[in-house]
């Protein structure tokens, strides 16, 4: 009998994150643009027309990655992320995209788009950011990289680039593109598309704007609408965060900090802008503690990594901050009374019986 890994009460549906179906429609447009009917793909992943037209519908990040990989297999286009970026419109980022295009300058527009990205996607790995000077935009690491997630990095960086080109009216808006994963042999395709040098195997994912590009006025600037729409974005962002307990805020920080190490109470308290003893008191008032939250976060993530990804067990151990794979195996048996390898095997066998890949 398969071990139970039902979500604990109050747990978000997928601890690895989720994404708006707005991005699924972009992927389906890319499949169509490549000359293929996306309908069988949608049916295979249980996506209906009603789902894709629901503004609040989301799917898990792992499911989105599997869908993207299936789209690459169908089209044969390993650079489908670039095609997605090319086909992305401001409205495909929801109200954040509409607000961003009304900003006065390209730098402010990109910063607005990224600031409110939580309104359409949530990823436990981290959050995108821009530099204070406005010349750089950073997309967080989603290591370990594989054929299931290359396209995610490509699509985000390409979508940002298309957005900059649209609002500036210029093609040459970039100085450099950095991509964390190693080259897949399409360097010339990427450099032709981005119109600048692309460094693979970089220390992070991001764009560096060409000199002066950030100061360019947006061709779609509209100060009154910018004020109104950013106010709506801010209100929506606050509504999302108002429901968070102190424990939720701690868990939101833990996942990226777990990679390769166990974060300390002091580190998390500093990130939250509070003192360690204050954080301890606040967690105690919620009938929990820091060590318990670390363990619960690891447990939830472990279940999702095992079921929803093809990530190796050694890589999962690193992502969860265990000293070695043996420590991860021991913890997994404590949580689920089964080894991670056996649990994954049982899950895949069950999926195969249901006809799900």
* Other Cβ atoms within 10 Å of 172 Cβ, number: 11
| Residues 83 and 232 both lie in one domain | yes
* Other Cβ atoms within 10 Å of 258 Cβ, number: 20
Element (H, E) at 200: strand 198-200
Q: 183, 209, 239 — which closes off a domain?
A: 239
Quote the CA–CA distance of 148 and 114 in Å, as a whole number.
Answer: 23
| Residues 292 and 173 both lie in one domain | no
Query: What is the torsional sign of CA 110, 99, 241, 318?
Result: negative
Instruction: List pLDDT tens digits, range 22-67.
Output: 999 999 999 999 999 999 999 998 898 888 888 788 998 989 999 9
Quote the CA–CA distance of 357 and 354 in Å, as a whole number.
Answer: 9
CATH number assigned to the domain comprising residue 295 = 1.10.10.60
If you search the block for the tokens 């991005």, which residue do you land on? 23
Average pLDDT, the chain: 90
- Comparing C-alpha atoms, which of 210, 99, 87 is closest to residue 159? 87
Q: 239, 270, 305 — which closes off a domain?
A: 239
Q: Could you give the C-alpha distances from 109 to 39, 85, 328, in angstroms and in order?
A: 34, 17, 43
Quote the CA–CA distance of 284 and 30 in Å, as a whole number.
Answer: 49
Q: What is the CA radius of gyration of the chain?
A: 21
| Residues 190 and 333 both lie in one domain | no
Q: Are 88 and 21 in contact (CB under 8 A)?
A: no
What is the pLDDT confidence band of residue 354, given thresholds at 50, 70 and 90?
Answer: low
DSSP 258-294: HTTS---HHHHHHHHTS-HHHHHHHHHHTT--HHHHH
Quote the CA–CA distance of 181 and 150 in Å, as a whole number.
Answer: 7
DSSP 95-115: HHHHHHHTSSBHHHHHHHHHH
* C-alpha triplet 32, 42, 76: angle, nearest 5°: 50
Pick from 191-200, 242-251, 296-305 the range whose average pLDDT is largest: 191-200
| Residues 193 and 325 both lie in one domain | no
Cα-to-chain-centroid distance, residue 322: 23
Residue 262, in any domain of the structure? yes
Quote the CA–CA distance of 100 and 107 in Å, as a whole number.
Answer: 10
Residue 280, in any domain of the structure? yes
| Residues 224 and 292 both lie in one domain | no
Q: Tell me the mean pLDDT in the region 297-316.
A: 89
Give the pLDDT of residue 53.
84
Residue 36, in any domain of the structure? no
Q: 218, 239, 260 — which closes off a domain?
A: 239
Residues composing the chain: 357
Sheet (strand 136-139) strand order: 129-130, 136-139, 205-209, 174-179, 198-200
* Other Cβ atoms within 10 Å of 326 Cβ, number: 10
Instruction: List pLDDT tens digits, range 98-135.
Output: 999 999 999 999 999 999 999 999 888 888 999 867 89
The domain of 288 spans 244-353
| Residues 210 and 322 both lie in one domain | no
167 Cβ contact list (under 8 Å, min separation 6):
101, 103, 106, 109, 218, 219, 220
Instruction: List pLDDT tens digits, range 205-251.
Output: 999 999 999 999 999 999 999 999 999 999 998 888 777 889 988 98
| Residues 206 and 91 both lie in one domain | yes
| Residues 208 and 268 both lie in one domain | no
Residue 61, in any domain of the structure? no
Q: Are 33 and 88 in contact (CB under 8 A)?
A: no
Residue 97, in any domain of the structure? yes
Residue 264, in any domain of the structure? yes
Residue 197 in this model has a pLDDT that exceeds 90: yes
The token pair that represents 218 in the structure block: 């947006």
| Residues 216 and 250 both lie in one domain | no
Q: Are 161 and 84 in contact (CB under 8 A)?
A: no
| Residues 127 and 193 both lie in one domain | yes
Residue 23, in any domain of the structure? no
Q: Are 52 and 21 in contact (CB under 8 A)?
A: yes
**Domains: count for the chain:** 2
The token pair that represents 69 in the structure block: 């990989």
| Residues 183 and 266 both lie in one domain | no
Give the pLDDT of residue 2.
35
The token pair that represents 140 in the structure block: 């967080």
Residue 18, in any domain of the structure? no
4 burial (CB, 10 Å; 0-12 / 13-18 / 19+) is exposed
Quote the CA–CA distance of 22 and 168 in Å, as a whole number.
Answer: 24
| Residues 255 and 302 both lie in one domain | yes
């Amino acid at each position: 009998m398969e071990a139970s890994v039902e979500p604990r009460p109050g747990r978000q549906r997928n601890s690895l994150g989720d994404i708006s179906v707005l991005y699924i429609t972009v992927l389906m447009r890319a499949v169509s643009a490549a000359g293929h009917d996306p309908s069988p793909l949608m049916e295979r992943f249980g996506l209906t027309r009603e789902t894709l037209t629901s503004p609040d519908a989301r799917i898990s990040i792992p499911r989105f990655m599997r869908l993207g990989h299936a789209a690459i297999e169908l089209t044969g286009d390993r650079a489908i992320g670039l095609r997605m970026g090319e086909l992305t419109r401001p409205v495909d980022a929801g109200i954040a995209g509409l607000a961003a295009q009304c900003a006065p300058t390209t730098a402010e527009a990109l910063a607005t788009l990224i600031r409110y990205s939580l309104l359409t996607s949530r990823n436990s790995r981290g959050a995108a950011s821009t530099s204070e000077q406005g010349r750089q935009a950073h997309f967080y690491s989603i290591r370990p990289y594989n054929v299931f997630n290359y396209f995610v990095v490509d699509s985000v960086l390409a979508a940002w680039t298309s957005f900059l080109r649209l609002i500036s009216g210029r093609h040459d808006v970039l100085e450099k593109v950095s991509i964390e994963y190693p080259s897949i042999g399409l360097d010339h395709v990427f450099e032709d598309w981005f119109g600048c040098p692309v460094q693979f195997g970089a220390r992070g994912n991001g764009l560096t704007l060409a000199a002066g590009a950030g100061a360019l006025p947006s061709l779609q600037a509209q100060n009154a609408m910018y004020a109104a729409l950013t106010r709506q974005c801010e209100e929506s962002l606050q509504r999302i965060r108002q429901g968070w307990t102190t424990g939720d805020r701690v868990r939101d920080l833990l996942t990226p900090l777990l990679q390769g190490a166990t974060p300390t109470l002091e580190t998390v308290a500093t990130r939250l802008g509070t003192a360690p003893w204050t954080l301890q008191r606040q967690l105690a008032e919620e009938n929990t503690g820091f060590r318990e939250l670390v363990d619960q976060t690891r447990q939830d993530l472990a279940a999702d990594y095992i079921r929803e990804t093809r990530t190796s067990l050694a890589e999962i151990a690193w992502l969860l901050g265990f000293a070695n794979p043996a420590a991860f195996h021991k913890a997994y048996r404590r949580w689920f009374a089964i080894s991670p390898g056996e649990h994954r095997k049982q899950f895949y066998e069950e999926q195969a019986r249901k006809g799900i890949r």
